[in-house]
Amino acid sequence: MSDRTPIIPTRIIPGGVPLPPGPPPAGAVPPWRAPAPAVPPPPPPTPPPAVVVPVAEPPRQPDPQVVVHVLLPYEPEPEPTRWQRLWAWATSIGRPWQICGALALALLPIPGVGYSVATIWASVVTEARAEGGQDAGYALALTPLAIAVMRIVRGGGTLRRLLLLAVSLVGLMGAIDLYDPITWLTGVTR
């Protein structure tokens, strides 16, 4: 068997003869079938329902408005005084007994020595300034002060941290000279 199927003519139309009509149109009924029954005509349209006109109601009177005024006694909080602000700031650093204890430990004289811890640190800073210069004095005074401030800000004020803060503040007084601003501004030393 071959792959090609032979073409077998079923009708031969000689030359000059008109061609037969084409295929039937779509939806055409073949002659051997019975025609479909005719579609019945549509029912007559129903008349629209009668429109009932509502009886007009008399216009409504607007509802009376109710206005309620409530006056509450309001007094703004008074501004805190300077002492209240200072107390709030001091207690935010630490408890009052810790602050007082740190100041007492820093400023009370050590028995047998006669000087307090803060004054000893101030003399060390003063000596460092005299021997090493202005930069050495400020570096030695500001380093423990910065450490104390960072520790208090991060972890709150404990007695030890507040003691370090009090001692370093008094030590900073040993590093400060009244001519420092003039030296910084002009560059002139004595």
Distance in angstroms (rounded) separating the CA atoms of residues 22 and 2: 33
Chain position carrying tokens 């008094």: 170
d(Cα 117, Cα 163) in Å, to the nearest integer? Answer: 10
pLDDT tens, residue order, the chain (190 aa): 567 888 787 778 888 888 877 777 887 777 677 766 788 888 888 888 877 777 777 777 777 888 888 888 878 888 999 999 988 877 777 788 888 899 899 999 999 989 999 999 999 999 998 999 888 999 999 999 999 989 988 888 888 999 999 999 998 988 888 888 888 888 877 6
Amino acid at 54: P
118 closest CA partner among 133, 103, 135: 103
Give the separation between CA 172 and CA 185, rounded to whole angstroms: 20
pTM (2 decimals)? 0.52
Select from 157, 169, 57, 149 the least CA-distant residue to 106. 169
Q: What residue spans define the domains of the chain?
A: 98-186
Name the residue with tokens 């329902």.
Answer: 49
